[in-house]
Structures are given as C-alpha cells and as structure tokens.
Amino acid sequence: MSWMTSVLLTLEIDFLQFEHVYAIGFKGRTDKRDFLTLAASVTGFKVEWIEGVKPGGLLQKAMPNGVNLEDTEPSIIAAWRAHMNALISVIENDHSTALIFEDDADWDVNIKSQLREFARGLHALQSNDKVSKEAPYGTNWDVLWIGGCGTGPDKNQTRFYVIPDDPTNPPSQAQSTLGGPLRAWTEKFPQDSTRFIFRAESGLCTIGYAITRRGAQKILAALSIDHLGQPFDNALSTLCGGVGDRQRIECYAPFPQLFNTHRRAGSSSRDSQIVTNGDESWHDEQSFALVYSTKRNIHRLVAGEETVYSQYSDMPWSQEELYMKQFVHPKGYLVT
C-alpha cells in the first residue's frame, strides 16, 4: 500500500475537525451571532466566541511599532487586536490547531467533504504520511488560509494539488479576481470547475483561517511584539510571502476559498463594523463565491429538507438542486 493510499484511508474515518473553533464578533451584533451559531450547528461546528474590540478601548502606549492611532483608522487596529486576542487564546489553551472565523462568514453545506479533500491536498503537498484522527491536518504548518477574498501562490510555483470537476466550485465569473491559480495551471485545468490547493504566498481578508500553536506564536511575535504597518490581513500576507524583513511562515490555501462573506439583505451600513463609510445603499442577500451556501439554505437545513439549492445555474459540473445524502466529493491529485 502506498503512503498516499494510507493517508486517504485514514482521512475517510471521520470529519476532519480542528481542536477548537473560534468566532470573532461583538455581543451587540446579535444578528450576526445568531446566524453564525445556527449555521455552525447545522454543519457540525461548535463555536466559542471571541469578543470584538472597540476602537475606544485602544491605547497608544500598547500599540506595536509602526502604529499611530491618530493617523490610522481605529476600526482597522481594533480588528487587528481582536485577531491577536484569538491567537493568545490558542496559545494559552495550548490548542494544537484552531479554526478562526469572522462573524459574517459563510460556507458550503458540504464543508466536511471539502475540508477532508483539502486535508488530502495538504498532506500530498507536504509528502506527509503521518496522519492521525487526533491531528488530521498534521501540525507542520502555520496558517491554512481557507477563507477570504483571495489567495495566490508564488509566481514560479509548479507543485500544486488539483480537484477537477468539483461541483462545489463556483464559476470563474463569481470567483475573486485577487490571487488565484497561475496561468500555466489554468491552461491545463479549467478554472470554472477546478479547485486548486497550494502553498500560499499572499492573501487578503481573514474571513476564516486555521492556525497551529506554532503559527499563533510566530504571528503574535511578528505583528504585536515586532511591528505593524498594515491591516491584519495585509500583514499576514507579508508573513506568508516573507516580504521585506518578515520571516516567511508556512501558509497553505485553496482557490477558490472555502469560507467567504455573507451579507443579509438590507442596508450596506449593517454589513461591517470595520467599514463605516456611511453607505446606506440597499442590496439583496449575498454569499460570495459559494455554490451551496449554508446561510442561503438555512431554512431548508433547519427544516430537515433533503435538498439544497445552488446560487448559480448553467454549471455543467454541478447540479442546481443537490440531494445532500447522495453527494460524493471528487478526489484530487498532486501535480508536480
């Protein structure tokens, strides 16, 4: 039996769970807390909340080098501090791995199958044959940037994991234009129906990411003890890429990503606690780049319906109405 066959069999045992799951949000945003807690419950996540940080509670003397509260948007620094608090909790509780959400996160109803295949891709990229039920992702990494606005590989990267004909893959016009697979990759594998997994050099937005204890230590040392000159997601990207004086950390990501932003129908002013530009424009319900959105199917899931609906039509590789019990996630393979 090959080492990869052994890994695949091990990963079939059960849903791939992280040791702990956190969600960052404000107690006062009960709308977001209610929705995320409900979505997590119907897809098998148990969430512990990390309280968001209000700009009024920030002290200049507590800021890392490079931050001046007088010329920096306070809400951006407050968001950075909330993520630092989540990392501190990972370290203090000695969690080997943790998944961290922001409170407007959404994901596909098939997230368990997606994460299982992502783990296979991660182990294939690392040539890792030491897989256990207790640590199904291993711990030889720092960040799994599995949710956000986009991630990208090194421009010369030739080693990646590919999942062709993935029915949970959104069409290319719905995908982020930030990052994404290299052109050489998409010449062989159509971006519409293919999910890619790779070592990430860059990323944007921290809607959902996983961290190891060692990763939490490295990020806290770099972005709190050392210096900070950017929003948290931009600074994390410099760590993944080893930009400037930053020591490169080990980041892996899928594209398209597995977690993305959900917005309830209504005024844009409700969408974010960070972006407060006075925009009162109205929009429909939105879940970005997710095929079978958990939140957009929430009433069907709570009612115990057998099927869910795609956000997109005319996708030959995916069904518009999906019978969840019949879903089988396609297997990917390593490309070198």
SS in 3 state form for 145-183? EEECCEEEECCCCCCEEEECCCCCCCCHHHCCCCCCCCH
Task: Identify how many contiguous H helices and E strands the chain contains and give both numbers.
Answer: 8, 17
Q: Is residue 14 part of a domain?
A: yes
pLDDT of residue 286: 86
pLDDT of residue 128: 83
In total, how many domains does the chain have? Answer: 1
With H, G, I as helix, E, B as strand and everything else as coil, classify residue 118.
helix
Q: Is residue 332 part of a domain?
A: no
pLDDT tens digit sequence for 242-269: 999 999 999 999 999 999 999 986 545 5
Q: Is residue 311 part of a domain?
A: no
Q: Is residue 163 part of a domain?
A: yes
pLDDT of residue 171: 96
DSSP 63: S
Q: Is residue 331 part of a domain?
A: no
CB atoms within 10 A of CB 80: 26
Q: Is residue 329 part of a domain?
A: no
Q: Is residue 269 part of a domain?
A: no
pLDDT of residue 267: 45
Range of the structural domain that residue 185 is part of = 3-261
φ, ψ (nearest 5 deg) of residue 298 = -60, -40
pLDDT of residue 284: 76
Confirm if 233 and 203 have CB atoms less than 8 A apart.
Answer: yes
pLDDT of residue 1: 44
Q: Phi/psi class of residue 244: alpha, beta or left (left: φ > 0; alpha: ψ in -120 to 50)?
A: left
pLDDT of residue 135: 81
Model confidence, pTM: 0.93
Q: Is residue 216 part of a domain?
A: yes
Residue 70 maps to which CATH number?
Answer: 3.90.550
pLDDT of residue 270: 57
pLDDT of residue 275: 55
The residue written with tokens 């959902």 in the block is 208
Give pLDDT < 50 ranges for the chain: 1, 13-14, 267
